[in-house]
Structure 1
Amino acid sequence: MRFPRILLAGVIASVVLSSCTNSEDLNPQLENSLLDLNQQVDKKQVAFDLIDLMKNQSFKTNTLHLLEHQEPSVAMSKVLSESKASVEKMKSYQELLKKTTYLESVSSEEAPDKIEILELWMMNSKKSKDFSNILFSFAPEGDESTWSVIEAYNMNKEVVYLDVNKAPNQPVIVIETNGFETLKREVELMNEYLRDAGVQNSRFQKVEKDLSYQSSKSSGLETTKLDKIRLNDDEEPWISGAAEVYAITSGIKDSDNSPEIKVIPMYYLDHDGRDYYPNQILLFWDDYQYQAANIQLFEKDDNVNYKDLVSTIVNGVFQIIGTVSTQPWVNVLGQVAGAIIQAMPNQWYTNNDDYVDSFYTIEKNKSYSNYYGARGNAKVNLSPFFVASN
């Protein structure tokens, strides 16, 4: 069950579809007929194409195997490539191929305002092994509070209406365009835009690639690690699937009180009411001038433009910079976190918001056990962690 819309920052909605196979695998005719990057995906047509493919026993067997072992979903590109040999001549395969655009190498200048990467996951609450009556579905458009039924289709492409809040007894393959794969790409682009705006240094890229990166201050990295996290229970329509949660960290990086901001994905954090033990580094203390920083959690909102969100955050932070250079740094630290919150869409502060929680003024070299955020929606264990160089 997905975290309510109380969970994660809407950095994202989107319209581009994930890599199908490498671009060199696409024949010239298909390359010329790929979807316009600004054209929204027709999920119903994708469902029908997928149903046609599932009539091929080899494709069906491979796809069900992938979905039964999903974590948390499977990119459509992988589903197609796994069964290419047996279905590549089928028209439905060609249609899905055209709907699967390779975006991983798209630069920030070329990236569309919205990114939609096709992926699949399976609702199978009863762990059924009988897939003879399997259904195909997707989340309705619009606000979740307005949903009355979930539209699904059987293998004959006949419509079946499902309950919004009660998961069905039979297996359902769900088509997703704003899930795990989209979050990965959007986080990469958000951090790139933050670096371009001057509110994130390049050390983050180096640390991602090589934790033995030599710090200018020591022979290793002083960090704070997330050892455990739990989010409160909240009811969400089952069709929404797993949550896509990310953290925004912020601190003061120099004596001029300039901010340092990063977006860190939390791919494992997909369900509420459950303890997770990620052992994930969230704060890199060499990034900050002072020994305190903020951690704020959000859930990706499918209706929010990730470019606009980053732009609003940056503009909001820079609006306060001119007035804070002479203030105590600890005051500025709180104002930066406040600017990030204020950048979020107004609807996040209604019953359908995607703001999860904030942990303000987390200190270096301090451990936190069963520590609640300001909102009381998230509880964490944090500990200092030194990463020695090789």
Structure 2
Amino acid sequence: MSKRPLRPTTLVAAILSAITFTTAGTAAAAAPAHHGAAPAPSAVSRIEDQTARAIAVALTDPALRAQVRSAALSSHEVDLQALSGRATTASGKALHSRLQSADRRIAAAKGLDAKVGSLLRLRLGADSMRTALTAESEPLVASAGASDDSTTLTAYDSRGRAHKLDTRSVPNRPVYVVDIDESRAVAAGMAILHKAFAEHGLSTPAATTMDAAGWWATKVDAVEVYDDQEPWFKGDAEMFSLVTGFGLDGKARVDSVDMPYLNNDNTVYYPNQILVNWSNYKYNLADVVMMEDDGDTNYLSLAQALTTALLTIADQGTYIPLVNAVLNAMPTSWWTDDPDYVESWYTLAQGSTGRLNGASGNGWMTVEPYFVQQF
């Protein structure tokens, strides 16, 4: 699921120009973005593309082709390492070795420990292709790493030849899409962020100040993100939020919140999820930046950039929004199908309740104060 209401380079400028900072930290909606030139493919996208071509060529093996077809028809997505690990032919075993190497390279490119395991997945490009995926069909293989803005998608046949597909319409010919298990990647990435924030004192729990009976939180009752330009080859979204404010020690604070249920656009979800633990914050205000991992997020670099930026911000004795600091911490090159900006909410208060529209008009959430009791 693509989130593309604003381009990052114009997003930061739009927020800085459209947001009026006052002592209360009020903010206006961000301005529309201007689309620039298509960015160069990222390291993860290149690896996915190379993997797609290797799989396409390997499908000349009838046994492997039948194995992949059966797996694709019986599951939403297929673990490529697990699938190729069961191969008995020479081509299947050779593909397995190549996939192991690709998974390690992807983990490194995303700043994750190699212990994260298999990340590469394969699925049919669309459910409508299921009837066309017969034993006699010759499916193409493409990578999901192409930019959301691309009008064409490169797919490969069994001879390794490239074919250009229209991203705006689903092909009649079946297409396998190579993608990343974003759910696993985001979970591992959140662990990287949590560790880095804690090591730099940006997310240290403030248990000593907590009321003996419990603590107040902001709970998300419902949330929806808009997007009506999703290309057919993209899979489910994997989103997370960064909650920023000032901790009790006066330092900028950031807490990462995984939101794995947010898979589809124009769909209302009812997570009843805790978003902010107010016992950790000095002021009764915080900001929320929602982002999506579109495949290329390097979580180690993200953690380093955020900690470097936020550690330079001092408490001025009054609350100031930190959204622009978060976004400015990210180099322009990271926004190549990287941690896509989805939406932001400024000056979320401890007492906020009801529907809150996002600053860029790409989503909303309904929140309420919630007291978490201690037992």
**TM-score normalised to structure 2 length:** 0.73
Alpha carbons of structure 1 residues 389 and 51: separation in structure 2 relative to 1, 3 Å? farther
Aligned equivalents of 1:201 and 1:95: distance in 2?
A: 45
Q: Is 1:386 aligned to residue 371 of structure 2?
A: yes
Once the 2 structures are TM-superposed, how far is the Cα of residue 58 of structure 1 from its aligned partner?
5.0
Alpha carbons of structure 1 residues 353 and 201: separation in structure 2 relative to 1, 3 Å? closer
Aligned equivalents of 1:388 and 1:257: distance in 2?
A: 26
Alpha carbons of structure 1 residues 5 and 66: separation in structure 2 relative to 1, 3 Å? farther
Once the 2 structures are TM-superposed, how far is the Cα of residue 216 of structure 1 from its aligned partner?
4.3
> Which residue is 2:120 aligned to?
118
Once the 2 structures are TM-superposed, how far is the Cα of residue 383 of structure 1 from its aligned partner?
1.9
> Which residue is 1:372 aligned to?
357
RMSD: 4.1
Alpha carbons of structure 1 residues 15 and 218: separation in structure 2 relative to 1, 3 Å? farther
Once the 2 structures are TM-superposed, how far is the Cα of residue 243 of structure 1 from its aligned partner?
2.7
Q: Is 1:354 aligned to residue 343 of structure 2?
A: no
Aligned equivalents of 1:127 and 1:386: distance in 2?
A: 48
Q: Is 1:48 aligned to residue 57 of structure 2?
A: yes
Q: Is 1:161 aligned to residue 146 of structure 2?
A: no
Once the 2 structures are TM-superposed, how far is the Cα of residue 183 of structure 1 from its aligned partner?
2.5
- The counterpart of 1:138, out of the listed 132, 137, 143, is 143
Matched letter for residue 312 of structure 2 = Q
What are structure 1's unaligned runs of at least 5 residues?
Answer: 17-38, 68-72, 204-212
Conservation of the 8 A alpha-carbon contact between 1:223 and 1:387: yes
Q: Residue 313 of structure 1 aligns to a residue in which SS?
A: helix
What are the Cα deviations for residues 96-119 of structure 1, in whole angstroms up to 9, with x where unaligned?
A: 24523579x99x99848x999212
Matched letter for residue 65 of structure 1 = S
Conservation of the 8 A alpha-carbon contact between 2:2 and 2:227: no
Q: Matches of residues 1-390 of structure 1 in structure 2 within 5 Å?
A: 1-4=1-4, 6=6, 40=47, 42-43=50-51, 44-49=53-58, 52=61, 55=64, 57=66, 60-67=69-76, 73-80=77-84, 84=86, 87-88=87-88, 90-100=90-100, 101=103, 111=113, 117-126=119-128, 128-132=130-134, 133=137, 134-139=139-144, 145=149, 147-154=150-157, 159-177=162-180, 179-201=182-204, 216-254=210-248, 256-300=249-293, 302-303=295-296, 305-321=298-314, 324=315, 327-331=316-320, 334=321, 336-346=322-332, 354-369=340-355, 371-389=356-374
What are the Cα deviations for residues 165-196 of structure 1, in whole angstroms up to 9, with x where unaligned?
A: 21224443210147333223222212222222
- Pick which of 120-129 and 277-286 moved more: 120-129
**In the comparison of the two structures, how many residue pairs are matched?**
333
Aligned equivalents of 1:250 and 1:264: distance in 2?
A: 11
Alpha carbons of structure 1 residues 129 and 328: separation in structure 2 relative to 1, 3 Å? same
What are the Cα deviations for residues 94-141 of structure 1, in whole angstroms up to 9, with x where unaligned?
A: 5324523579x99x99848x9992122322242643412343211365
What are the Cα deviations for residues 68-106 of structure 1, in whole angstroms up to 9, with x where unaligned?
A: xxxxx444345456xx3xx24544245324523579x99
Alpha carbons of structure 1 residues 148 and 183: separation in structure 2 relative to 1, 3 Å? same
> Which residue is 1:27 aligned to?
none
**TM-score normalised to structure 1 length:** 0.70
Once the 2 structures are TM-superposed, how far is the Cα of residue 199 of structure 1 from its aligned partner?
0.8
Once the 2 structures are TM-superposed, how far is the Cα of residue 65 of structure 1 from its aligned partner?
0.7
Once the 2 structures are TM-superposed, how far is the Cα of residue 248 of structure 1 from its aligned partner?
0.5
The percentage of aligned residue pairs carrying the same residue is 23
Aligned equivalents of 2:227 and 2:117: distance in 1?
A: 29
What are structure 2's unaligned runs of at least 5 residues?
Answer: 12-41
Matched letter for residue 313 of structure 1 = L
Once the 2 structures are TM-superposed, how far is the Cα of residue 353 of structure 1 from its aligned partner?
9.2
Conservation of the 8 A alpha-carbon contact between 2:186 and 2:293: yes
Alpha carbons of structure 1 residues 261 and 351: separation in structure 2 relative to 1, 3 Å? closer
Conservation of the 8 A alpha-carbon contact between 1:4 and 1:352: no
Alpha carbons of structure 1 residues 243 and 286: separation in structure 2 relative to 1, 3 Å? same
What are the Cα deviations for residues 310-334 of structure 1, in whole angstroms up to 9, with x where unaligned?
A: 222212112222xx3xx23313xx1
Matched letter for residue 244 of structure 1 = E
